[in-house]
Amino acid sequence: MSDKKMQVVFASAEAAPFVKTGGLGDVAGSLPRALVAAGADVIVMVPKYGTIAPEYTDRMEHVADFYVSLGWRNEYCGLERLVIDGVTYLFIDNERYFKRDYPYGFFDDGERFAFFSKAVTESLQHLPEGFQCDVLHCNDWHTALAPVFLREFYQGLPLYERVKTVFSIHNIAFQGQYADTILNDILGMAHIPNAARQLRCDERSINYMQGALDYSDAITTVSPSYAWEIQTPEYGEGLDGILRRRSNVLSGILNGIDTDAWNPATDPMIHANYSAADMSGKKACKAALQEELGLEVRDDRPLMVMVTRLTRQKGMDLVTYALDRILSGGVQVAVLGTGDYEEPMRYFANKYPGTCAARITFDNALSHRMYAGADMFLMPSLFEPCGLSQMIAMRYGTLPVVRETGGLRDTVAPYNQFTGEGTGFTFANFNGDEMGDAVFRGARLYWDDHAAWDQLVQNAMAADFSWVRSADEYMNLYHNLHPEIDITKPEPAVQEPEPAEPVAVEAEPAAPAPEPVVTEAEPAPKTEQAAEPADDAKAEAPAKADEPAPKAAPVAEPAKKTAAKKTTASKTAAKKPAARKTAATKSTATKAAEKPAAKATATKPAASKAAATKTTAAKATATKATAAKTTAKKPSTASATKTATKSTTTKAAPAKAAAAKTAPAKASTSKAATSSAAKATAKPAAPKTTAAKAATPKAAAQDSSAATPADKPAPKAKSVSAAKRTTRKR
């Protein structure tokens, strides 16, 4: 094993806080920091967009410039460096391509991101002193050509010989599909039969992502379930065949969330702070949210929220189908979002005043209040590569109701009424009645079995969705590609044993330093039970199917199961099983001064549509040419920007990513080599019913006590018939 650190170049079209339009920005903003904490050297390469805030551009240092060949062109490329939190960012500078008001949605995106990919590859020769790239980690179609260029144009140069490539799929619906004229004119690869063949996806088109899938040494996606789903025609968007062929190098690694920015104990944006040990603040948050949204302030009504793009992907067809039944059954619903289904949401809000609220806007601060104030979070996605919202909801003790797909399946453990295990309520098929049943399983539990409900909330809050777990899995993957590089984390100094007295040579080694002081978690005071529903509410609610009596056992000692709270020393403790067992109480809740939402970028209607371009995204959203037409989105901060058009790709911008301290017990899906496996065993176990369980087969026992079906069908989503579709134009 060499002493060399794993040196990773992470290429992404967006990275929070500089530029973010979606989950990719979150990942590129958080994962590199977690990788650094896991012992890697990381350089993140991002285009230097015109939208990056001066607070960053002013601090950038010019480190190199050179020219990049692109077909017959020779394009300037500058490298601008900025170091934040131990991560080096190198911004690829070319004003012709990147000095624009928003990152995507232009007629020449194919050329722009071909340039970016080539510039990233070329830049490996211009890295800071001492940085020798071991792994080039590319993300989504914008960087998909880098592994292709690397093998076709740079292979053979000693510097590139050792570079292994990883390609991560964040959403397979966006592939970068262009007319094949690009092959010659821009990529300069028409004369390379192998490349031309592997990039071609039909008679007239080439596909960037397809190229990456063939050329990369390893492929990942953002959840284990999505990893196998995309190998099926149903989810593979035409690339399932290649993915099946390359399944031996394909793995799914769950994203994490920023556990500092999303922390109910410290969140400055919510009405009252609370924690698993003291949930009283959550009640106050609920009442305040009901008041704010104009809902009846009643604790006997379960409040279910959605914070989402209002698109088909997010299951809005099911929602509009089932809302009458849900609302008339006594469940309050509040929706925050923009997109294709704004009108139906307004319709329900008008029809059920006091029971339904719709906020058609993007509002980060309100999203925090909704996560905190709700009882349930609905996410019935058609497909979901990973999904962040359900993890955020669980962190706030808001139980998710999700469809078992992609990352939702991997992160939400269904409630098992016999064991009390679970972190939410799930359903399998994309079917509005099944979704309604799942909602009422939750509502029934809320009404009828407060102890079981509280236990579920505790389970959900104890789940670990930190980036530490993901970073470890990526490190294992990198190590697989470079087994000669040791990735064992250095032991923190605090664990060093006291040196023995130099004179007295003891037979026994000096006693190790005491374990970090970790306090046994205080048994969480039993959460105050939700008030019994008022009689009228009960009357409205459907009669309960013969539900067995709730199990007492798991409820009796809620704190024991959920003792996985952390101390500042928990990272240390994580390596020590003894310390781990004591599952310390979190002592230093770092005040998470949430940053303003990262610069949310905007998609705009493309000024012109290049005849040559077409994206698979367009296919995915079914409205072909309109895919090119994306929406205007302003840089958003906490306040909402009502989009002029209905489509949006905006997402909550988490503040600083946090590498939280423990990893779940869920088995690593990466094919780690032996040394990394050893490392994995040092992870602390996750609470029994959380992530560890998430990937396990679903609990069979689910009560289905559904409400009476709606007497009236929901209005058809206007936008479904209209040709307008939301597209996440990347």
Place of tokens 């928003």: 102
Q: Considering beta carbons, is residue 277 or 303 the nearer one to ligand ADP?
A: 303
By CB under 6 A, what part of segment 286-325 binds ligand ADP?
307-309
Stretch in the footprint of ligand ADP (CB under 6 A) among 150-158, 212-220, 334-342, 705-713: 334-342
DSSP string, 704-720: --PPPPPSSPPPPPHHH
Q: Tell whether residue 725 is a contact of ligand ADP (CB under 6 A).
A: no
Q: How many residues bind ligand ADP (CB under 6 A)?
A: 18
Question: Dihedrals φ, ψ of 581, to 5°?
Answer: -60, -30
Q: Nearer to ligand ADP by C-beta: 139 or 389?
A: 389
Q: Are 176 and 110 in contact (CB under 8 A)?
A: yes
Can residue 389 be called a binding residue for ligand ADP (CB under 6 A)? yes
Q: Which of 301, 633, 651, 679 binds ligand ADP (CB under 6 A)?
A: 651
Q: What are the angstrom distances between the C-alpha of 385 and each of 35, 50, 192, 380, 409?
A: 21, 29, 34, 13, 10
Instruction: For the chain, give percent helix, strand, coil, nearest 5.
Output: 35, 15, 50
Which of 259, 455 has the CB closer to ligand ADP?
259
Classify strands 177-179 and 205-207 as parallel, antiparallel or unpaired.
antiparallel
Question: Which among 651, 614, 640, 612 has a CA at the least distance from the CA of 629?
Answer: 614
Q: Considering only residues 22-51, where is the footprint of ligand ADP by CB under 6 A?
A: 22-23
Confirm or reject binding of residue 367 to ligand ADP (CB under 6 A).
yes
End-to-end CA distance of the chain: give it in Å, rounded. 40
Using CB under 6 A as the binding rule, the residues of this chain from 600 to 639 that contact ligand ADP are: none
How far apart (Å, rounded) are the C-alpha atoms in residues 446 and 398?
12
Find the radius of gyration of the CA atoms of the chain: 26
By C-beta, is 59 or 642 nearer to ligand ADP? 642
Helices 109-123 and 208-215 cross at an angle (nearest 10°) of: 30
* Residue with smaller CB distance to ligand ADP, 567 or 649: 649
Distance of CA 132 to the CA centre of its chain: 29
The interface region with ligand ADP, picked from 245-253, 358-366, 426-434, 614-622 by CB under 6 A, is: 358-366
Q: Which amino acid is at 184?
A: N
Cβ at position 637, least distance to ligand ADP in Å: 11
Q: Which residue intervals of 143-279 are DSSP H helices?
A: 145-149, 158-161, 181-185, 193-199, 208-215, 224-229, 233-236, 240-245
336 binds ligand ADP (CB under 6 A): yes
Considering the complex, what minimum distance in angstroms separates the CB of residue 388 from ligand ADP?
Answer: 4
Q: Tell me the closest approach of the beta carbon of residue 661 to ligand ADP, in angstroms.
A: 22
6 vs 239: CA distance, rounded Å: 31
Q: Which stretch binds ligand ADP (CB under 6 A): 281-289, 360-368, 483-491, 582-590?
A: 360-368
Instruction: Kindly state the smallest distance separating residue 151's Cβ from ligand ADP, in Å.
Output: 31
Selected binder of ligand ADP within 373, 380, 387, 420 (CB under 6 A): 387
Based on CB atoms, which residue is closest to ligand ADP, 42 or 392?
392
Rounded-to-integer distance, Cα 392 and Cα 340, Å = 24
Cβ proximity to ligand ADP: between 22 and 684 the closer is 22
State the nearest-atom distance from the C-beta of 304 to ligand ADP, in Å.
15
Record the tokens describing residue 183, joined without a space: 């092959």
Q: Position 483: which residue type?
A: P
In DSSP terms, 399 is beta-bridged to 376
**CB 392 → ligand ADP: shortest distance, Å?**
6
Label the pairing between strands 87-93 and 73-84. antiparallel
Which residue from 93, 229, 317, 363 is in contact with ligand ADP, where contact means CB under 6 A? 363
What are the DSSP E strand ranges found in 267-331?
303-310
Beta strand spans in 417-495 (E): 425-427
Q: Which is nearer to ligand ADP, 50 or 268 (CB)?
A: 268
Q: Which stretch binds ligand ADP (CB under 6 A): 321-329, 362-370, 480-488, 659-667?
A: 362-370
Select 367 or 702, whichever has its Cβ closest to ligand ADP: 367
- d(CA 221, CA 396) in angstroms, rounded, equals 26
The answer to the question of residue 329 lying near ligand ADP (CB under 6 A) is: no
- Name the segment binding ligand ADP (CB under 6 A); options: 225-233, 244-252, 289-297, 361-369: 361-369
Q: Is residue 352 involved in binding ligand ADP (CB under 6 A)?
A: no
Among the listed ranges 145-153, 194-202, 282-290, 384-392, the one in contact with ligand ADP (CB under 6 A) is: 384-392
Are 137 and 163 in contact by the 8 Å Cβ rule? The answer is no
- With CB under 6 A as the contact rule, which of the stretches 54-62, 124-132, 387-395, 528-536 interacts with ligand ADP? 387-395
CB of 176 to ligand ADP, least distance (A): 18
Binding site for ligand ADP (CB under 6 A): 22-23, 307-309, 336-338, 362-364, 367, 387-389, 392, 651-652
